[in-house]
Chains A and B, each alone.
Chain A
Amino acid sequence: MTPHALLFTIAAIGISETAYLIKTRVRFEKPICLIGEQCATVLASRYNRLFLFPNDVWGLLFYIASAMIAAFLVIGVAPMVLWYLMLKIVVTMGAVFSFFLMYLQWRVIKAWCFWCVMSAFTIWLMGAILMTSNLLNI
């Protein structure tokens, strides 16, 4: 249960973070940049919308899906094998997409956004937890 509990907690933090970004975008406000001053540069760039929807919406959907699957695994909703496989697929997709977004910030936009970097590390941490639990069989 411990890895799923951790994944759920991290996903919940991700939900609050992406909900904040969506709220500020919809209200045409500048998000508070806790570290650095380039959040607005990244979030207002032409790359803030990939695959039809803004990236924050994709992030929110990712975190909601991850939190729900982790919750199903904790509660023991059948079929557990399918939920575990789905969690692996969702987190892998999120981790790969985060690598792409980090590359865009580094090489293309040439600016770093605190929230985007935090989200990427959050997703990679989820991937690391999944891999570790898989290796240790817990």
Chain B
Amino acid sequence: MRRTSFHILRVGLAITFLWIGILIARQPEAWGGYLQPWAAGLLPIPLARAMYGTAFLDVAIGVLLLIDWKTWIAALLAAIHLVIVLIVSGITDITVRDIGLLAAACAVMIESLPFALKSQS
């Protein structure tokens, strides 16, 4: 991938994660409503607290992507997080966009993998 397009994708993904984190922190219960009942029932802690944790994770991923530090780890976390989101909320009119975000996170992760890891694959 050309470096300029990689950085545009990285910063765009970072801003998306930062924004989602802030919006979840703003209304944790409302965002928790996207969880399927079976998934909400599995939570060992109150839903609001779990959503604050999700908000923190999203902001942390966003910051790492934004400053281009440990980018591959941030992108890997983002991809895992999005897979979990798709599983626990199902593919709805809202979450269908997460497929695009998942693809973007995978692209950033593959592009920013350390040389040692790349040469093994």
Contacts and interface: CB of A to CB of B under 8 A. Distances in A.
Interface of A: 5, 8-9, 12-13, 15-16, 19-20, 23, 32, 34, 67, 71, 74-76
A97 to B, nearest CB: 22
A20 B22 CA distance: 24
Chain A facing B: main interface SS? helix
B26 interface: yes
Contacts of A75: 22, 25-26
Interface in B20-68: 22-23, 25-26, 62, 66-68
Contacts, number: 40
B11 A5 contact: no
A20 B10 CA distance: 13
21 contacts: A8-B18, A8-B22, A9-B15, A9-B19, A12-B15, A13-B15, A15-B66, A15-B67, A16-B7, A16-B10, A16-B11, A16-B68, A19-B66, A19-B67, A23-B68, A32-B3, A34-B4, A74-B26, A75-B22, A75-B26, A76-B26
A19 to B, nearest CB: 4
B14 interface: yes
Contacts of A9: 15, 19
Nearest to A14: B66
Interface of B: 3-4, 7, 10-11, 14-15, 18-19, 22-23, 25-26, 62, 66-69
A130 to B, nearest CB: 19
Contacts of A5: 19
Given A23-B68, A76-B26, A16 B19 contact: no
B63 to A, nearest CB: 8
Nearest to A17: B11
